[in-house]
Amino acid sequence: MRYELYYWTGIQGRGEFVRLALEDAGADYIDVARKRGDKAIMPFLHGKQEGALPFAPPFLKAGRLVIAQTSIILAYLGPRLGLVPGGQSAEIYAQQLQLTIADFVAEIHDTHHPIASSQYYKDQRAAARKRTQAFRDERLPKFLGYFEQVLERGNGQRALSRHSYVDLSLFQLISGLDYAFPNAMRRLQTRTRRLRALAQRIDERPNIAAYLASPRRIPFNEDGIFRHYPELDPTA
């Protein structure tokens, strides 16, 4: 099966969680918009295609099936790409963890866009400072502490009993947070030891290392979810 991934060009965004799974598994896929441009996405959003109506990218075409929402794409791909342990309870737990990552990602995005996604960052900078302070003080340690505890309950190294798409997504989270908030992340280093060890191991997986070194990996930038604005990440 050749999978077709549809996601905006120019940013890693939510599409990156899907890319990492496809790349890690060595799956056959096309990153459609990067081949044909963002306009390839529009017929789906405008309801010109049969089947499911996506609200937004990313969505995956698998044969005739159109699957939107990152977490559901991964829940679908997991068993097919060998990226989730077998059994109902493991699959459900993986989905729950992935959705909690999605909730965290939405909060990370809103640190720089607390008022409206449609407005420029510079026009909501005052609110962004306030939101990001609460994020750094409360939400960042809470979510990372939660995932650290998840690894402890797994086998100490992984979220589940074996390698999974959740581990790949945790790698992406840590990478993005290190890019956006290097100072805040440094202060949390001793409380995120298991997450850091996991991220390191994922970084060294041959398919992931090859992907990260390739032009297919879009660099982090200030159009995506994880943005580095020095005023939102003070040194202390």
Q: Which stretch binds a second copy (CB under 8 A): 84-92, 162-170, 183-191, 211-219?
A: 84-92
- Distance, in Å, from the CA atom of 22 to the CA atom of 109, rounded to the nearest integer, reads 24
Q: Which stretch binds a second copy (CB under 8 A): 16-24, 141-149, 163-171, 182-190?
A: 141-149
- Pick from 75, 100, 99, 70: nearest CA to 164: 75
> Is residue 68 a contact residue for a second copy (CB under 8 A)?
yes
- Pick from 234, 158, 161: nearest CA to 197: 158
Q: How many residues bind a second copy (CB under 8 A)?
A: 42
Residue 21: φ, ψ to 5°: -65, -45
**In terms of CB distance, is 68 or 208 closer to a second copy?**
68
CA atoms within 13 A on the CB side of 172: 31
| Residue 96 CB contacts under 8 Å (≥ 6 apart), including other chains | none
Q: Which stretch binds a second copy (CB under 8 A): 142-150, 184-192, 197-205, 217-225?
A: 142-150
Question: Where along the sequence are the contacts to a second copy (CB under 8 A)?
Answer: 47, 51-55, 65, 67-69, 71-72, 75-76, 88-89, 92-93, 95-96, 99-100, 103, 106, 110, 114-116, 118-119, 124, 127, 130-131, 134-135, 138, 143, 146, 149-150, 153
